[in-house]
Structure 1
Amino acid sequence: MAKEDKPIVKCSVSNCTYWGEKNLCQADMIMIDIDTHASRDYNAEFAGESFDTEHQDIAESSSATCCHTFKPKS
């Protein structure tokens, strides 16, 4: 996907490394999972690295999901 084709991802977590002005996520890739897997380690130090994309889950609502891309600002 070309950079100009990147979807708009809004995020209000301003202490994330990938947070940008106007709440726009600057990550190259976003990994979202269900809360059951919240503590799973995907070794995602940088959003551009690959994540586990082999499994599939079902979430009942957005509140049952979590973002694994989050990385606190240093």
Structure 2
Amino acid sequence: MVKTGGDEIMGITLDLQGLEFALLAADHNVTGTGLDKALYRPAAFVFDMDGTRHRIQLSWEDGLPHQDVIITWKK
């Protein structure tokens, strides 16, 4: 991702088998970027697969509550 109207890199977007991620490395207005409804600073990524649950826990030092992102794979 490049800052609007410039050449400064602001972050990266990637797609891992249909799961889209964006990592912003600087404060940037996301209006109109497709990230308008993104979850800001998730608490964890939880993967549910055939009765097995894997969790990647994240830690933010901001004192705010954060939501988990839950991904469920079904056969």
Shorter-chain TM-score tier: under 0.3
So what's the TM-score if we normalise by structure 1? Answer: 0.23
More helix by share: 1
So what's the TM-score if we normalise by structure 2? Answer: 0.23
Structure with the greater relative contact order (CA < 8 A, sep ≥ 6): 1 or 2? Answer: 1
Instruction: Point out the structure with max Rg over C-alpha.
Output: 2
More strand by share: 2
